[in-house]
Amino acid sequence: MHYQNERNFGCRVSDDWSFRNNKVAIIENELIRVVVLVDKGADIYSFVHKPSDTDYMWRSVWGVRDTSKFLSTTGDSSWMDTYEGGWQSCAPTAGNSQQDYQGAPMGQHSEISHMPWDSQIIKDDPKECSIKFWVRTYRTPFYIEKTFTVKKNDPSLQIDFKLTNESAGNSDCVWLEHIVFGDPFLSEECRIDLPNSKILNLNEGTSGNRLKSKGKGVWPFTEGPNGDVDMREVPPKSSKLEDLAVYHDLSDGWYAITNKKKKVGIGMLFSKEVFRYVWNWQVFGGGSGYPWYGRHYNLGLELCTSLPDGNPFPGSQEKTSLNLKSGESIETSLKAITYESDTGVKQIKNNGTIVIN
């Protein structure tokens, strides 16, 4: 039997843990700790900034399920029934509608965030650690792998992705990195920063919206029912709001969210050519019925190749989903960078340097 290195300093990595009957991997250094649910989509369940003891990730009230002891009552809502919060990879479909994918019935946000992934430690050294996760889908013809890397005294996690169409023909793909932040990191003291971009409101106009349905804007303002809304601001849970907006045509590939009171934040540095959209999903105590029942307070800043379900822009007939040829792959990287600030972020440079306001 192979026994992993039990080092307790510098960079560390292990996939020999379990939580509620799910295999778990932990990768960390002196500044950050990342917990991955290997058996549940290789989801990032926890992302902790150690100096401030801040976990950025949102956790739903139902948490992590032991799926060997849990069965959904219907198939239609199975994604929500096992949604613990945190950060999921979703492909080759992503969105709210139930879809048929080349003859295969698909639920919300596709299949890979439900599936157990394989894992392998690539590098285990006090100066640098890497672990690779991979999965082959069963209803769709895709192979996905992602490698997590941390370096000594580096406040960031690097993720290298590769997504491949293994079909004998062309296949559409909507690829979403479903990143959701929650309390106590998330509060009305938070500020969102993005580069220059356009805004499209996608909420359906139900009660409890602060955004005008199908409204538009230019960062940081978009249309609301009673005038412009400043999207840099995060309303309190007492506001009882629920909205969805999409940022597109970004001038640079980054965003940041800062809790000015706690003086800590996290930013994402990514390829705007691959992830052309940032979905801003907002549940600020809103949603009186299923599944939120007014209980949740969370904010998603989700990187995506497309609009939800690959839908066209309003007024267009052209789908926003990608179309991959047989054997074609997409390879890209992103960095999740933690930092300290009580003002916000002016820019994230290509080398990962945070420029504070």
One DSSP character per residue, 70-89 reads ---S-STTHHHHT--BSEEE
Strands 354-356 and 297-304: unpaired
Whether 163 and 136 have beta carbons less than 8 Å apart is answered as no
Cα angle: 173, vertex 178, 183; to 5 degrees = 170
Instruction: Give 67's contacts (C-beta < 8 A, 6+ positions apart).
Output: 21, 22, 40, 82
At 2, is the secondary structure helix, strand, or coil? coil
Sorted by where each starts, the structural domains of the chain and their CATH numbers stand as 68-107+134-148+165-356 (2.70.98)
Distance CA 173, CA 176 (A): 10
Q: Which amino acid is at 162?
A: K
Whether 222 and 228 have beta carbons less than 8 Å apart is answered as yes
Cα angle: 106, vertex 87, 249; to 5 degrees = 85
pLDDT at position 97, please? 64
pLDDT at position 1, please? 45
pLDDT at position 75, please? 63
Joined together, the tokens standing for residue 202 give: 């996608």
Residue with tokens 């792998």: 145
Strands 277-284 and 216-218: unpaired
Q: Which amino acid is at 263?
A: K
Q: Which amino acid is at 206?
A: T
Residue with tokens 């940022």: 247
> pLDDT 10s digit of each residue in the chain, 357 long?
466 778 899 999 999 999 999 999 999 999 999 999 999 999 999 999 999 999 999 999 989 988 778 777 766 667 788 889 999 999 999 987 667 888 888 878 888 998 999 999 999 999 999 999 999 999 999 999 999 999 999 999 999 999 999 999 999 999 999 999 999 999 999 999 999 999 999 987 666 899 999 999 999 999 999 899 999 999 999 999 999 999 999 999 999 999 999 999 999 999 999 999 999 999 999 988 888 899 999 999 999 999 999 999 988 999 999 999 999 999 999 999 999 999 999 999 999 999 998
Cα angle: 313, vertex 106, 109; to 5 degrees = 60
Distance CA 191, CA 241 (A): 17
Distance CA 187, CA 261 (A): 9
* Separation of first and last alpha carbons in the chain: 52
Joined together, the tokens standing for residue 296 give: 């949740």
